[in-house]
Structure 1
Amino acid sequence: MTAPSAVLLLRLAGPLQSWGVRSSFNRRDTGAEPTKSGVIGLLAAAAGLAREEPLGQLPLLRLGVRVDQPGTLLRDYHTVSDFRGRPLPQAGVSAKGIQKPTSPAKNTHVTTRFYLQDAVFVAVVEGPEDLLRTLDAAVHNPAFPLALGRRSCPPTQPVSLGLRATDLETALRTEPWQSSSFARERYAARLGRERGLDGPFHPAFIDRSATLEDEAGDDVLQDNPVSFDLRARAFTSRRVRHTWLSIPTGYDSIDDETSDGHAQDMGHDPFALLGW
């Protein structure tokens, strides 16, 4: 008998996030939204799985990510040196597996690291209800510290928004907007100015972009983890679908509603992701 499925909703927000996609050597990039490897890594840390342990059913969970607040890109100028004053090693290793010294000797490396500032995402994982219930409890009481991509990026609370007995897309469509109050009011103020009003306009719904794991999707991402073992890290591909979803804003008072609760003239806003 097939186990009943459900979804677990996660609110991924913090001062900084960094979701590696093409990082190498002295450049650490970040994707525009959380990767599946990053979300599964967060759940594995919560559950107390060591890096070298098998991930079990975690990579089989379907993932959907909604961009509630895209944030802004931060470039961190970063330098690295040996605290003992020794020249830094190079990436190449000797026949004995020991890193070779830089030639000519180099005492400082300049690295570039990118982060997302003040971003907010809603990540939804879909799978067996019993597994998700265990993961939800782990997120509330994590065995290892939780991080938004990198260990230097802790999340704000709450991380878990709870379980729902529904499917991936429905959960992303119905969960209220999780953007900060400042960003929400700035958006409402802009809508008010566009409509020539004396104050902000509070719509009932807003369009947000989303990426859903979908076997029939037209895009492929290489971010499904097979192993986090530092000696044998491995990832596989998955198909995804990019879309826009009309979601409830959750405003206490709604301006200019129609009888079905949707704001009038609230079509797709091409500048919504820019936070203007």
Structure 2
Amino acid sequence: MTALLLRLAGPLQAWGAKSRFTVRATELAPTKSGVVGMLAAAVGRRRIDPIEDLLALRFGVRKDQPGTVIRDFHTARTLDGKNSMPLSKRYYLADAVFLAGIEGDRALLEGIGEAVHNPAFPLYLGRRSCPPGQPVSLGLREKPLVDALRDEPWLASDWFRRRHPEETFQMELLVDQDAISPKDRTGDVRGYRDVPLSYDSRRRDYSFRDVERIMIPIEKRPVDDLDPMSALEEADACS
């Protein structure tokens, strides 16, 4: 089993699955349609190109830093500035960090990993206004998807860790049910309508998938107080 891990972190993210008309909502975790779309952009596929090989990849996401839902009251005008566009409410996740993973054929994952490092089209976290704030690809792991997501170190920011003084931190793991072995089953299953059958703007279509929810306690690692002058002192010592 091979899994490719992805760090999805940035000032803003927006993973829509139920947006309608002037209300553009966001889910509380990355959707399969959003991540598959990002990977398709990385390898250079356009909206009308086939994506069957990407849909066959098993998908999971871990909430390392859930973030906060914020609302933007959005206004816009036409390019010539003469007419106003419809007012809309757009929701985002602020300061969120997720660990996502895909499992499948190693050769395919290698190609995707290389493309994420050098994408054919710009990558964004759900919407074009949400670019990643850190490198996305964390590389391949030679283990099943659930084990890869469970074993990876906690990716939360230092300030977030300081605000959670508990000895352990419960992280929510959402994984395609067909990627979970019987020993990892929890029975907490829910349906998501976020499997993209077509990204074509003339005929967007999605189907359902079953997702299993697993809660993972992660032992906290001590976070040293940041001294902003230490880097300058080290640089002076080396000069």
Q: How does 1:172-251 map to 2 (within 5 A)?
A: 172-188=149-165, 191=166, 203=167, 205-215=168-178, 218-251=189-222
Q: Which has the larger radius of gyration?
A: 1
Q: List per-residue Cα deviations over 1:131-173 (Å, max 9, x = no partner).
A: 1011000111111000000011000222111100101111111
1:125 pairs, out of 102, 113, 121, with 102
Q: Is the 1:68–1:121 contact (alpha carbons within 8 Å) kept by the matching residues of 2? A: yes
Unaligned runs of 5+ in 2: 179-186, 225-239
Match of 1:109 among 80, 83, 86: 86
Worse-matched range after superposition: 208-217 or 70-79? 208-217
Show the counterpart of 1:68.
64
User: Which residue of structure 2 aligns with residue 48 of structure 1?
Assistant: 44
Partner of 1:57: 53
Q: 1:159 aligns with which of 136, 139, 145?
A: 136
State the match for 2:35 in structure 1.
Answer: 39
Partners in 1 of 2:90 and 2:164 — Cα distance? 29
Do the aligned residues in 1 keep the contact of 2:188 with 2:214 (CA within 8 Å)?
A: no
String of CA shifts for 1:4-32, please: whole Å, max 9, x gaps.
Answer: x3000000000000000111111100000
C-alpha contact 1:176 1:248 (8 A) present in aligned 2:
no
Once the two structures are TM-superposed, the CA of residue 71 in structure 1 deviates from its matched residue by 0.7
Matched residue SS, 1:12: strand
Q: Is the 8 A contact 1:173 1:246 kept in 2?
A: no
Query: Per the alignment, do residues 184 and 252 of structure 1 end up closer, same or farther by CA in structure 2, a change over 3 Å counting?
Result: closer
Whether contact under 8 Å (2:6, 2:137) holds in the other structure is yes
Equivalent residue in structure 2 for 1:146, among 123, 141, 154: 123
Bigger proportion of residues as helix: 2
> Normalized against structure 1, the TM-score is what?
0.74
Q: Which whole-Å CA distance do the structure 2 matches of 1:218 and 1:206 have between them?
A: 22
Give 1:6's match in structure 2, choosing from 2, 7, 10: 2
Conserved 8 A contact 1:65-1:124:
yes
CA RMSD between the two structures: 1.8
Structure-2 residue corresponding to 1:171? 148
Cα shift readout 1:217-264 (whole Å, capped 9, x = no counterpart): 7211110111111112111111111120123544479xxxxxxxxxxx
Equivalent residue letter for 2:174: T
- The alignment covers a number of residue pairs equal to 216
What TM-score does the superposition give when structure 2 sets the normalisation length? 0.85
- Can you give the 5+ residue segments of structure 1 that lack an aligned partner in the other structure? 88-106, 192-202, 254-276
CA contact (8 A) 1:176 1:249 kept: no
